[in-house]
Amino acid sequence: MTRAVSRCNFRAGQPSVRAWTYAAYVAMLATMAPEMRERVLARFPAEGVRADDQFNAYIDDVNPARFAVSAHRHFLRSEDGRA
């Protein structure tokens, strides 16, 4: 579902696999029950991901849960263009 919606909204050509993954994780955490989301977020202290290149294959492959939480937090920061 995330791919179908985001395919219509990406403006920079064909997105990378990590861009799709980022969007999917953001959607997954955003739609979780609040109590469950808080438990997931509590497992990973805020690390302050600031650069887009920190969302890479290595992090996703080695620790996908960390990638998911970092993507969620990155997206929620207003300076990152959250709608």
Instruction: Inform me whether the pLDDT recorded for 12 exceeds 80.
Output: no
- Burial of 58 from C-beta contacts in 10 A (0-12 / 13-18 / 19+): exposed
pLDDT of residue 53: 59
From residue 44, alpha-carbon distances to 16, 41, 67, 68, 83 in Å are 25, 6, 10, 10, 24
Number of structural domains (the chain) is 1
| pLDDT tens readout for residues 17-52 | 788 888 889 999 999 999 999 999 999 887 666 666
Provide the residue range defining the domain that includes 43: 2-80
Instruction: Inform me whether the pLDDT recorded for 80 exceeds 60.
Output: no
pLDDT of residue 52: 61
Confidence class for position 16, pLDDT limits 50, 70, 90? confident
pTM: 0.73
